[in-house]
Amino acid sequence: MEWSVGLLACLVGLLPMGSFARTKRDTTGNLVNTEVHSAPEQRWSMQVPAEVSAAAGEAAVLPCTFTHPHRHYDGPLTAIWRAGEAYAGPQVFRCAAARGSELCQTALSLHGRFRLLGNPRRNDLSLRVERLALADDGRYFCRVEFAGDVHDRYESRHGVRLRVTAAPRIVNLSVLPGPAHAFRALCTAEGEPPPALDWSGPALGNGSAAVPGPGQGHGHQVTAELPALAHDGRYTCTASNSLGRAEASIYLFRFHGASGAPALALPLGVLGLKALLLLGILAARAAARRRLEHPVAQDTPPRPQAQESNYENLSQMSPRDPPAATCVP
On whether the CB atoms of residues 187 and 197 are closer than 8 A, the answer is yes
* Same fold across 45-158 and 167-252: yes
Provide the pairing of β-strand 51-55 with 114-116: unpaired
The DSSP symbol for 218 reads B
CATH of 45-158, one of 1.10.10.10, 3.90.25.10, 2.30.30.40, 2.60.40.10: 2.60.40.10
- Encode pLDDT of 43-69 as tens digits: 889 999 999 999 999 999 999 999 998
Residue 323 confidence class, pLDDT cut points 50, 70, 90: very low
On whether the CB atoms of residues 221 and 135 are closer than 8 A, the answer is no
**How do the domains of the chain map onto residue ranges?**
45-158, 167-252
- Encode pLDDT of 212-235 as tens digits: 555 454 578 999 998 888 888 899
Among candidate residues 59, 240, 216, 249, the one with its CA nearest the CA of residue 167: 240
CATH of 167-252, one of 2.60.40.10, 2.10.109.10, 1.10.240.10, 2.60.120.620: 2.60.40.10
pTM: 0.63
On whether the CB atoms of residues 110 and 92 are closer than 8 A, the answer is yes
**Helix, strand, coil percent values for the chain (each to nearest 5):** 15, 45, 40
Average pLDDT value for the chain: 74
On whether the CB atoms of residues 159 and 141 are closer than 8 A, the answer is yes
